[in-house]
Amino acid sequence: METADQRTSAVQVKVRPSTARERAAKATANAGEPTLDHTGQVPYDTYVHASTLHSLQRTLSEDPGEMSFLMVSQIMELYFGLTCFELREAQRLLRDDDVWGTLRPLRRAAMHLEGLNAAWRGLRWMTPGDFNRFRDLLGEGSGFQSAMYRHLEFLLGLRTASLIRPFRRQPEVYAALVETLETPSVWDDVLAVLARRGFDLPAAVTDRDFTVEHEPRAEVEAAWVKIYADDGPDNHLRLLGEALTEVAEQFGDWRYRHLQAVARTMGAKVGSGGSSGAAWLQRSMARVVFPELWSARTAM
């Protein structure tokens, strides 16, 4: 019998590129109807791997509501990864001093977070009784253990080194988290840009231990007050500030919706992963993403 590893290592079918001329010729030959006969795998599935995606929903109970819980969780994981991808692209451009170019991945990241927030709607039907029908079967499984969510927090500057400990027995996952933890966050890269642009930031802001969460500084706040004082169309740093604010706001919305979902389905019960549940989430929301962007508004 063929093993999963053997199936994975099999030669993969690639999508065959086509030109505009080829597509037009095909449409003419089909009289405007879609192509129904393909050689081998359907091209859409070759690209999207839809058949693989739809094979990953393996519920633990016979309760039909569990499918919603599982699939929404998987959708959120994909959005975590997509948002991380955009934030890393933003970091690459920031390190090249391309502030204008950075706006595009940041805006996409904010939109992905908006989609992530919308995913919570798929669980609004769930009452404590609905969740309890399969909750025990999850054991200690908890969203707290999402490695990709931890990457997202680290990229946004929320850093607690101890939170990577659950992944020590997954060497590749652990190593990737260590790398994200030890390298600058998006906010660190933004502050490095401000320093290169001549803003008077202390060395403690740009030359520091990145595994430790950034502490708000008056100098950083003053820099943003100065940036926002120029509302001209060519002030790319102000546009950068607004793009970052949208990312932070959407992420804050996700954390609040998470708390709401937990309160709706669990009340004040302890979490599956050993935390205090809603109380733990409430405390974590006090940590602000891009803090000086918010505090500077008081002085503007």
Distance CA 117, CA 250 (A): 8
Q: How is residue 290 written in tokens?
A: 């891009």
pLDDT band at 12 (very low <50, low <70, confident <90, very high): low
What DSSP character marks residue 185? -
Q: How is residue 267 written in tokens?
A: 């009340």
| CB of 287 closer than 8 Å to CB of 158 | yes
Binding-site residues sit at: 135, 258
**Residue ranges making up the domain that contains 130:** 65-298
Residue range 192-211: mean pLDDT, rounded: 95
Binding-site residues for heme sit at: 258
pLDDT tens column, 220-263:
999 999 999 999 989 999 999 999 999 999 999 998 888 888 88
Residue 277's CATH number: 1.20.58.480
User: Which class for 84: exposed (0-12), middle (13-18), buried (19 or more C-beta within 10 A)?
Assistant: buried
CA quadruple 183, 189, 195, 199: dihedral positive or negative?
Answer: negative
The predicted pLDDT at position 282 comes to: 72
36 found inside a domain: no
pLDDT tens column, 253-287:
998 888 888 888 877 676 565 555 667 667 776 78
18 found inside a domain: no
| CB of 118 closer than 8 Å to CB of 148 | no
The predicted pLDDT at position 226 comes to: 97
Domain count, the chain: 1
Binding-site residues for substrate sit at: 135
The answer for residues whose C-beta is within 8 angstroms of residue 86's C-beta and 6 or more apart is 105, 106, 108, 109, 112
129 found inside a domain: yes
Q: How is residue 246 written in tokens?
A: 């949208």
15 found inside a domain: no
What's the pTM?
0.90
Q: How is residue 70 written in tokens?
A: 């599982």
